[in-house]
């Protein structure tokens, strides 16, 4: 009798001692449809119906993409906030975390059927960034230029030591 090798035997290349089958004996057929075709179908559906791509529900909130890097003395966070006025941004800083919240509103209302492509995010967004080390909250700064928000967070130097003299009297 010709018995299939068990899943474990095929995985490890060993032979079974008792010849019993395990539950993964049956080979599943390999799918011949490509992922690209499925992606194209979804993209075409979204292009023909832009409302599927854009969620107008008030409960949906976008997540702000950010870049975080360090210099010799600072941790720097950058985020594109084009279309957001500085007074619409709320940046909360703690020693180990930064939270950026804001809202981007459409200046003009366009009917759904009039869109060919709708990829921009409109509405409220937020992002919480856990920092790799503690920062000095009091000397942190934020600036925005050409739609790019830059937050500069001076790192705390925990290895810095000072000697204290004890005063007599």
Residues 6+ apart with CB under 8 A from 81: 64, 89, 102, 104, 144, 147, 148, 149
Asked if the model's pLDDT at residue 150 lies above 80, the reply is: yes
CA 84, 87, 88, 91 dihedral sign is: positive
Domain 58-154 class? mainly beta
Residue 141: its H or E element? strand 141-145
Residue 140 host element (H or E): none
- Two structure tokens written together for 97: 């975390």
Nearest to 117 by CA among 44, 54, 47: 47
Alpha-carbon distance 64 to 127, whole Å? 6
Contacts of 9 (CB under 8 A, 6+ apart): 15, 16
Q: Which pLDDT score, from 0 to 100, does residue 165 have? A: 85
> Which CA distances in Å does 140 have to 73, 74, 107, 130?
12, 9, 32, 16
Asked whether 22 and 4 are in contact (CB, 8 A), the reply is: no
The C-alpha atoms of residue 29 and residue 21 are separated, in whole angstroms, by: 19
Mean pLDDT of 95-103: 93
DSSP-assigned letters across all residues of 65-86 = --EEEE-SSEEEEEEE-TT--G
Mean pLDDT of the chain: 75
Say which residues have a Cβ less than 8 Å from residue 35's Cβ, sequence separation at least 6: none
21-73 pLDDT, tens digit per residue, is: 544 445 544 444 444 444 444 444 444 444 444 444 445 678 889 999 999 99
pLDDT of residue 110: 78
- The answer to whether residues 65 and 80 touch, using CB atoms and an 8 Å cutoff, is yes
Q: Whole-model pTM?
A: 0.58
Could you tell me the residue ranges of all domains in the chain? 58-154
pLDDT confidence of residue 94: 93
The helix/strand/coil state of 112 is helix
């Amino acid at each position: 009798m010709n018995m299939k090798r068990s899943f474990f035997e095929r995985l490890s290349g060993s032979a079974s001692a008792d010849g019993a089958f395990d539950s993964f004996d049956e080979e599943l057929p390999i799918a011949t449809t490509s992922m690209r075709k499925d992606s194209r179908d979804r993209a075409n559906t979204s292009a023909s119906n832009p409302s599927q791509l854009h969620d107008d529900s008030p409960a949906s909130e976008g997540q702000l993409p950010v870049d975080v890097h360090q210099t010799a003395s600072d941790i720097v966070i950058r985020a594109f906030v084009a279309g957001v006025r500085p007074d619409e941004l709320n940046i909360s800083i703690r020693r180990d975390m930064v939270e950026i919240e804001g809202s981007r509103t459409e200046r003009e209302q366009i009917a759904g059927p009039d869109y060919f492509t709708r990829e921009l995010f409109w509405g409220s967004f937020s992002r919480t960034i856990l920092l790799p080390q503690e920062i000095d909250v009091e000397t942190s700064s934020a600036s925005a230029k050409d739609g790019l928000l830059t937050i500069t967070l001076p790192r705390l130097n925990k290895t810095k030591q000072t000697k204290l003299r004890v005063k007599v009297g």
